[in-house]
Amino acid sequence: MGQSVSWLSGLLWAKKEIRILILGLDNAGKTTLLYRLKIGEVVTTIPTIGFNVESVTYKNLNFNVWDLGGQTSIRPYWRCYYANTAAVIFVVDSTDIERLQTAAEELAAMLNEEELKDAALLVFANKQDQPGAKGAGEISEALRLGELRDRNWSIMACSAVDGSGVNEANRATRLMALPVTENCTLLYNQHRDCNMAWHDTPTISAVIY
């Protein structure tokens, strides 16, 4: 009996690994965001050919964060990384108005993949420090996020360069990626403390910052 309880306790409290993908078009700021989330600083980056991967530990959770290149020739290979993904961070250059339609099409195609049917979606409207950047509401409309069903999603405005909105983005990433079996009370309380506005229906959960 004692051994059984000990084994079960160890299973529940063992460090869990959670896989997160950072996707988006080229020049959206994905790699800059990755290292802002990881070390809290801006690093010099070059266009990602392939991927970058970093581990971020939070309590007993280990987040493996994969940043995939966004060039046209690389996007077809995104699907090679979809398996076992808990959450997708989709980064949008909020100043690149001409390619918002392309971003919307890539996002829709990605979300139709069977391997991502249970993955949470976080859209980061990046580059808010630059003139002409569209807000989270406008980016949400352009990506048609309001049409999503059976998907937990969130969108927030941020700047990976000056750090605005990144702390909130980091917190939301951890919370959205938590397995369903994690502490739901913690999830509720942290959202309440952040003044996050949840809009719930039986088929959708969304947060707009």
CATH number at residue 118: 3.40.50.300
Q: Which of 71, 101, 128, 190 is catalytic?
A: 71
Of residues 72 and 167, the one with the higher pLDDT is: 72
- Indicate whether 201 belongs to any domain: yes
The reported pTM is: 0.75
Calculate helix-pair angle for 30-39, 166-177, nearest 10 degrees: 90
Within-domain flag for 27 = yes
6 domain-assigned: no
Containing domain of residue 169, as a range?
A: 15-208
pLDDT tens-place string over residues 69-124? 888 999 999 999 999 999 999 999 999 999 999 999 999 999 999 999 999 999 99
Q: Assess if residue 8 is contained within a domain.
A: no
For residue 125, the surrounding DSSP H or E stretch is strand 120-126
Say whether 71 is catalytic.
yes
Number of domains in the chain: 1
**Domain-embedded: residue 5:** no
Tell me if 149 is assigned to some domain. Answer: yes
Instruction: Indicate if the pLDDT at residue 164 is higher than 90.
Output: no
**What pLDDT band is residue 4 in, cutting at 50, 70 and 90?**
very low
Question: Residue 183: pLDDT above 50?
Answer: no
- Answer yes or no: is 3 within a domain: no
Q: Which of 182, 201, 191 is nearest to 13 (CA)?
A: 182
Provide the pLDDT confidence category of residue 5 given band limits of 50, 70 and 90: very low
Which uninterrupted H or E stretch holds 142?
helix 136-143
At a CB cut-off of 8 Å and minimum separation 6, what does 8 contact?
none
Answer for the pair 165, 127: CB distance below 8 angstroms, yes or no: no
**Of residues 51 and 116, which shows the higher confidence score?**
116
Q: Using CA atoms, how far apart are residues 11 and 169, in angstroms rounded to an integer?
A: 29
CA distance 94 to 97: 7
**What are the tokens at 85?**
């993904």
DSSP state of 50: S
Q: For residues 102 and 187, what is the distance between their CA atoms, to the nearest angstrom?
A: 33
pLDDT band at 3 (very low <50, low <70, confident <90, very high): very low
Ranked by mean pLDDT, which of 10-14, 49-53, 141-145 comes out on top?
141-145
Q: Is the pLDDT of residue 198 over 60?
A: no
Q: What pLDDT, in 10s, does the model give residues 57-73? A: 766 677 888 889 888 99
**For position 101, what pLDDT does the model report?**
97
Q: Which of 56-65, 149-158, 167-176, 181-190 has the weakest average pLDDT?
A: 181-190
Residue 1 lies in a domain: no
Contact partners, residue 119, CB within 8 Å, separation at least 6: 85, 86, 87, 88
| Closest listed residue to residue 87, CA positions, set 157, 24, 19, 182 | 19
Residue 58 corresponds to which tokens in the numbers above? Answer: 């939070």
Name which residue leads in pLDDT, 167 or 28.
28
